[in-house]
Structure 1
């Protein structure tokens, strides 16, 4: 069994936990969880308190424990992929302008080039899928020095904050309990991140990404 509350986090611990949460959200938006991930989620031990974030984690863990991978594979396709499009279209361009492959994607690609982040050659999906943006955030968090990484705040506020909470709120309304709980958790997490990173963005210090990394954008998550 795994607990999210079994240590007193240091600055580095907190940063690592945030990166892990971004990667988990991205993975669950990208594809249905396999047996191992679903078992891990179902076995999470969350501190019994009344904080909204803890309650959302508890709900996701319960939903995972009562789900099976095959059903979630079908649900993921219906909710987030679809034959034409899913119930939720998790792309920045869609939420900004109601169209895919639009101006927000152009701006995002420019900023990714500045950060030295490149889409993986084998991926054909647009980089503005929320799962890909979560992966970028994890990379930025992990690349931060002991000082504040302003690139992290700037990227989030420019490319995620304007629409991600709405996207996850839409996911929270789907009929599958697991994905509804994922939407509620994601909506609350992004709200907390927005509050945190607005404050970070006001600070003067910054650190730049130096190394170029490869961004694996979602496969099979197009409309």
Structure 2
């Protein structure tokens, strides 16, 4: 899931920026940030990595959090929020927010959609396909992949509306309101703003 996509010379910087944001969110939710990624966040310019001033405030907060907190603290926070032998503090799976339980009908529908797109979960990935990191990876592929029959705006709109739009606000709110969330509160607020921009853009296609 963490393998980087190799982008060929992009014609559209905005599309590349969108793909990179999805990739960043996938990395941050799949596992605590690596030392390399965390160091990149700490020195990142406080200008949104995707067009639109609306994102800049929450992006600045995310960069500020990475500068304020040690990586060890972020790793501890990730474990406290998302890793548990029993029930984690915050679930990262769409089925939980949509159906109230894991491995429910939303996951079945998602698997059918991924099969249609010719995508499947790598054997090395333990998380089910409705994990927010996996879904962000799919969006990154639909933006930046080489197969234009799959990686195009219509597929992005369809996938986002069907498998992300209906539940991710609840995830961002759960994280933003959680008393133990600090770095991941900043991540969630940036993700909320980015997803709002995405939803608005997809709505304009339908207008």
Structure 2 Cα separation of the partners of residues 36 and 183 of structure 1:
21
Partner of 2:18: 18
Partner of 2:4: none
Task: Please state which structure has a larger fraction of its residues in helix.
Answer: 2
Matched, 1:123 2:114: no
Partner of 1:40: 40
Task: Please state which structure has a larger fraction of its residues in strand.
Answer: 1
The farther-off stretch of 102-111 and 174-183 is 174-183
Question: Where in structure 2 are there 5+ consecutive unaligned residues?
Answer: 1-9
Note the C-alpha offset of 1:82. Answer: 2.2
Partner of 1:206: none
- What are the superposed Cα offsets for residues 2-36 of structure 1, whole Å, 9 maximum, x if unpaired? xxxxxxxx961110110000010011011111222
**Residue 96 and residue 53 in structure 1: after superposition, are their counterparts in 2 closer, same or farther (change >3 A)?**
same
Using structure 2 for the length normalisation, give the TM-score.
0.85
- What are the superposed Cα offsets for residues 163-220 of structure 1, whole Å, 9 maximum, x if unpaired? 11211121112333211101111111111111111223x28xxxxxxxxxxxxxxxxx
- What are the superposed Cα offsets for residues 36-80 of structure 1, whole Å, 9 maximum, x if unpaired? 2111111111249x9441010100001001111222111101112
Alignment of 1:167-178 (within 5 A): 167-174=171-178, 175-178=180-183
Partner of 2:167: 163
- The one of 80, 85, 88 equivalent to 1:83 is 85
Partner of 2:111: 109
Using structure 1 for the length normalisation, give the TM-score.
0.80
- Asked whether the 8 Å contact 1:166–1:187 carries over to 2, the reply is no
* SS of structure 2 residue aligned to 1:172: helix
Question: Where in structure 1 are there 5+ consecutive unaligned residues?
Answer: 1-9, 204-223
Q: How many residues align?
A: 191
- Asked whether the 8 Å contact 2:94–2:106 carries over to 1, the reply is yes
Structure 1 Cα separation of the partners of residues 78 and 23 of structure 2:
17
- What are the superposed Cα offsets for residues 75-124 of structure 1, whole Å, 9 maximum, x if unpaired? 10111222323221011100001100000000000000000001102223
User: RMSD between aligned alpha carbons?
Assistant: 2.1
- What are the superposed Cα offsets for residues 118-165 of structure 1, whole Å, 9 maximum, x if unpaired? 1102223210001000000000001375x9520110000000000112
* SS of structure 1 residue aligned to 2:129: coil
Partner of 2:158: 154
- Asked whether the 8 Å contact 1:60–1:178 carries over to 2, the reply is yes
- The one of 49, 59, 62 equivalent to 2:61 is 59
